[in-house]
Amino acid sequence: MGGREWSAETKAAQALGWVEETSGAVVMPVHPATTYLRDPDNLYRRGREYARADNPSFDQPEALLAALEQGEDALVFSSGMAAATACFLALRPGDHVVAAEVMYWGLRAWLGGYAREWGLEVDFVDMRDLSALKARLRPGQTRLVWIETPGNPLWHVTDIAEAARLAHDAGARLAVDSTVATPVFTRPLTLGADIVMHSATKYLNGHSDVLAGALIAKAKDEYWQRIETLRVKLGSVIGPFEAFLLTRGMRTLFPRVRTASASAMKIAHAMQKHPKVAEVLYPGLAESPGHEIAAQQMAGGFGGMLSIRVRGGEQAAVAAAARVKLWKRATSLGGVESLIEHRGSIEGAGSPCPQDLLRLSVGIEAADDLIADLSAALAEV
């Protein structure tokens, strides 16, 4: 953008200030082409060969992501799962992985099933307990430590800097799923992480209309090159229009996430006082077990996600979700609309999620309206 070093908020709002040179348009065009012209001598001097490897529409969101996370490089993928699994597929059979017990259930199930069948050795640990992490590390064999903080849907908080130190001491890399924290509040690479993953479907896009994932690297090393190659070989690329929409979404990332976070804090305090709520899980609450660490590594807010445990168990929780009028009963998170979900029904057997838990994704509606709607639904149970 030139001149002084602009803040991350300004970089996001202007999408790095890119302008289309021919027309002067302040929004970059979509490039739907799947193939590119060779030069007369059969070379590709323009740098583009085929859309499965690259597309001009990827350039802007990847550059913006690298800038926001303060990484050396970024890649966009067809989904969060495509991005996350690429980190593990870039390892080799026999490598050892340590992953969080509390994390996105779809990835946890993939690690416990396919990844083990493929040849990775996978251990799950409570990442709040760094001594447990240290005990599971195998120096020289552990290649990747995977954490998610705050961890979905119990919102466990992991100390990124200490986890990175332990991983590096064992010769492993640290990857952080920072989907919920977003670069608005946490930048894991500056705390020692090697890779940051986002389900870009969620807060980065923010409008529930794009399926996308992203990885950002601290360094373009041999491991990162393997991930780049995997994206090409597996074809897990985002579409050009989706890349365009992702950039559009990231331009409002900061005001959306800050609004959702402020509302989540207000809702968390209100739910603590509700007689039908047994417990509120939110790292922004001073009494939350992870609050102190969250306050250190989440600058300016604690995110828009929280969970409540409903008195009366599973039946009462499901009944409360059935009675809301404003909250939408739907999977996902990070959109402008607020969502409510009984996670136990989704995650099934083996999940660490209590059956009385409702997961709340707070949008950008008026917090008082959301509180009134949820309170009324709980009161009817």
Annotated catalytic residues are 52, 104, 177, 202
Long-range CB contacts for residues 339-346, cutoff 8 Å, separation at least 24: 339/363, 340/374, 342/314, 342/317, 342/318, 343/105, 343/153, 343/307, 344/314, 344/317, 345/318, 346/105
The helix/strand/coil state of 130 is: helix
38 CB neighbour count, 10 Å cutoff: 12
Q: Which residue has the tokens 């760094």?
A: 130
Question: How far, in Å, CA of 19 to CA of 11, rounded?
Answer: 13
Q: Which residue has the tokens 């074809």?
A: 235
Can you point out the beta strands (E) in 267-363?
Answer: 277-281, 305-310, 328-329, 339-342, 357-361
Q: Judging by beta carbons within 10 Å of its beta carbon (0-12, 13-18, 19+), is residue 191 exposed, middle or buried?
A: middle
Question: How far, in Å, CA of 305 to CA of 18, rounded?
Answer: 32
Contact 260, 304 (CB under 8 A): yes
- DSSP assignment letter at 278: E
Question: How far, in Å, CA of 93 to CA of 291, rounded?
Answer: 38
